[in-house]
Structure 1
Amino acid sequence: MDAISILVVEDDPIIAADIESSVNRMGYAVTEKIAAGKEVLPAVRRSRPDLVLMDVQLGDDIDGIEVAHRLNQEFPTPVIFLTANSDRVTFERAREAVPAAFVSKPFDVVDLQRGIDLAIRNFSRQDQPEASDGDSVILQDRIFIRDTRRNLFKVEFADILYIQAQGNYCDIFTVEGKHTVTCNLKYLLTRLDNYTFVRVHRSYLINLAQLDSVGEVYLHLKGRQVPLSHGYRIDFLSRLNTL
């Protein structure tokens, strides 16, 4: 399970280092520290961060607000503005860029963590009519899961082998391990890629991309066995490209 990745855009190296240290202690990963607005889009292309922490006032010709507008057009990514400037004009300009959150400088660590949490959750709800449960946040190609310390970590859909229902909980199995979320299997199926994930049993979903072989009553995925129910067999086999 990979930590949420964050790009830091701050032209003061001392503040940038402080942000990186704080973010790392929260359990998140800093992809890069960028000082100039013109460097942000290339950095996003390289590392595709989950979130951008951006100072409004940067030292070059492009400020953080203009950069956020460009990100919205090319690489929609949640942006948290860090700013020491509270004047009305700057605030109105910044609001037009639709940031995920504002954090005042000098920043408070608690405010920063709350801003990150809010940004991830709000961004992931865009174009989704149904809210997520309390322990997971779902995007188009990944799910964010809370660990025991209440930090959010991501699991890419491509890394999921199968999902097993346990009443009102679901266990998500990947090659690396198991992660538990508080929601039922029906809810997860509506949020996952229906072309890739298919129900094969009352209590199981599998990732077709991870399927190795099909038996009479079991499916095999990277050394794991998942039961194939008779009631789901016909629909499941219709999803396979067989010769």
Structure 2
Amino acid sequence: MSKSDTILIVEDEMIIAANISLQLTQLGYNVIDIIPRAEEVLPKLKQQIPDIILLDINLKGDLDGIELAHLIQKEYKIPIIFLTANADEVHFNRAKTTNPYGFISKPFKKLDLQRAIELVLIRIQEEKMNNPNETETFVISDSIFVRSHDKMIKININDILFIEAERNYCKIHCKEKEHLIVSTLKDLEDKLNVKSFLRVHRSFIINMHHIDEIASSHIVIAKKAIPVTAELKKQLLLHIQKV
């Protein structure tokens, strides 16, 4: 359990959201963003996956927090803690259908927030230990099979442009689409033992066949600028000659 765990706050009362953010920061957690509207959450998740989402049930707009939670769960497996000032039976029963990792009733104390987060992080670790197959990855000939939620997806290795780390997740960028999987970049690096792939940054593995540009401090693949250190750039140039 690490205090570098990331948290996304979805709360339309900005004074409350700012107070939550301050308390979490004081506890040592990394608040990646505060989002006031449900419609802005899924685009944010395509950019960065948090470890936990703190989600207000009574969001203003077309979607409330419970409806948003259902949409999130169709694409991601992210623990959700509901924030609510309305703890009536109707809201509680609706919220239960999303299998949240917890509820925090407003107003709450800093200790309530701290304990809720710590209990969720413990549960996350226990789930990982009890589900070792969740991060399975298989490389067979010219394809890689990765586990995404409850199924295995086949990806043609030549179609992979680069792989980007997002904490306990990896985003595999391909020619046509992206695949978000539960895996560390190190695990994929160990299993994806292919000459054309090289780790050029702590957060990136690239397919050298798809490099469009090599600059002084970055490379470009499919219009994406990927950072590379001077030392790794030397290794990259040597590897390119051998590929």
TM range (shorter): 0.5 to 0.7
Matched with 1:168 is: none
Cα distance, 1:109 vs structure 2: 1.0
Checking the alignment, whether the CA contact within 8 Å between 1:100 and 1:123 is kept in structure 2 is no
Q: Deviations over 1:81-126 (max 9, x none)?
A: 0001011010000011111110110121111111111222223433
Residue 175 of structure 1: aligned partner: none
Query: Residues 61 and 80 of structure 1: is their aligned pair in 2 closer, same or farther, counting only changes over 3 Å?
Result: same
Distance in 1 (alpha carbons) for counterparts of 2:169 and 2:69: 27
Matches within 5 A, 1:9-158: 9-126=10-127, 128-129=129-130, 140=135
Aligned positions, number:
150
- Residue 41 to residue 157, structure 1, CA distance change in 2 (3 Å): closer
Q: Runs (4+) of structure 1 moved beyond 6 Å?
A: 154-158
Tell me which residue corresponds to 2:190.
196
**Which ranges in structure 2 are unaligned for 5 or more consecutive residues?**
137-165, 171-185, 192-198, 201-230, 232-243
Distance in 2 (alpha carbons) for counterparts of 1:157 and 1:101 = 22
Distance in structure 2 (CA, Å) of the matches to 1:6 and 1:194: 25
TM-score by length of 2: 0.54
The 1:62–1:155 alpha-carbon spacing in structure 2 relative to 1, beyond 3 Å, is closer
Larger mean CA deviation between 118-127 and 105-114 belongs to 118-127
Structure 2: how far apart are the matches of 1:72 and 1:155? 19
Give a deviation string over 1:28-63, Cα, whole Å, max 9, x none.
011110001111111111121111001000011101
TM-score (norm 1): 0.54
CA distance in 1, matches of 2:107, 2:89: 19
1:179-222 per-residue CA deviation (whole Å, 9 max, x = no partner) reads xxxxxxxxxxxxx959839xxxxxxxxxxx89xxxxxxxxxxx9
Change (3 A) 1:156 1:94: closer
Contact 1:2–1:155 (8 Å) recurs in 2: no
- Cα distance per residue 1:124-169 (max 9 Å; x no partner): 43364389xxxxxxx849xxxxxxxxxxxx97699xxxxxxxxxxx
The residue type equivalent to 1:196 in the other structure is D
Between the two proteins, what is the percent identity of the paired residues? 38
**Structure 1 regions of 5+ residues with no counterpart?**
132-138, 142-153, 159-191, 198-208, 211-221, 223-243
| Structure with greater contact order relative to length (CA < 8 Å, sep ≥ 6) | 1
Alpha-carbon distance in structure 1 between the residues aligned to 2:135 and 2:27: 25
Q: 1:44/1:156 Cα in 2 relative to 1: closer, same or farther (>3 Å)?
A: closer
Tell me if the contact between 1:26 and 1:113 (Cα under 8 Å) persists in the aligned partners: yes
